[in-house]
Amino acid sequence: MNYEERYRDVGYLAIRGREQQLIDYYGKKKADELGIKDFKGGAKSDTGTGTQLTENDIRGVAKDLPAGEVFHEASNWKFGPLAPFTGKKISRQLAAGAGR
């Protein structure tokens, strides 16, 4: 598949989504072990200066990427659910932009 057409490939979408779900799955597992209750995602960019939960400095899928939910759902469809969605939901992004 041509790289510029990658967003039309469900396999590409699913792999991107699974990458983020794996980061979140292992991050949540570590957060639970440490008793951390306010889990926001497994990458260091999710925890800021807080406890690093995984070795991932940045998310596989940006938290505010509009297609983030599409990646997540493609992963669920191809591989089965692994971790909850930790990005910004599209409906929240649309509502935030409505006042502009």
Domain residues for the domain of 77 are 3-97
pLDDT in tens, the chain (100 residues): 788 888 888 999 999 999 999 999 999 999 999 999 999 999 999 998 889 999 999 999 999 999 999 999 999 999 999 999 999 988 666 666 655 5
pLDDT at site 2: 82
pLDDT of residue 44: 94
59, two tokens? 């998310």
Nearest alpha carbon to residue 31 among 73, 89, 83? 83
Number of compact structural domains in the chain = 1
Q: CA-to-CA distance for 41 and 54, rounded, in angstroms?
A: 10
Token pair for 35: 């008793």
Q: What is the largest CA-CA distance in the chain?
A: 45
pTM of the predicted model as reported, rounded to 2 decimal places: 0.86
In the prediction, which pLDDT does 97 show?
65
Instruction: Give the dihedral of Cα atoms 47, 62, 85, 32; nearest 10 deg.
Output: -20
pLDDT of residue 84: 95
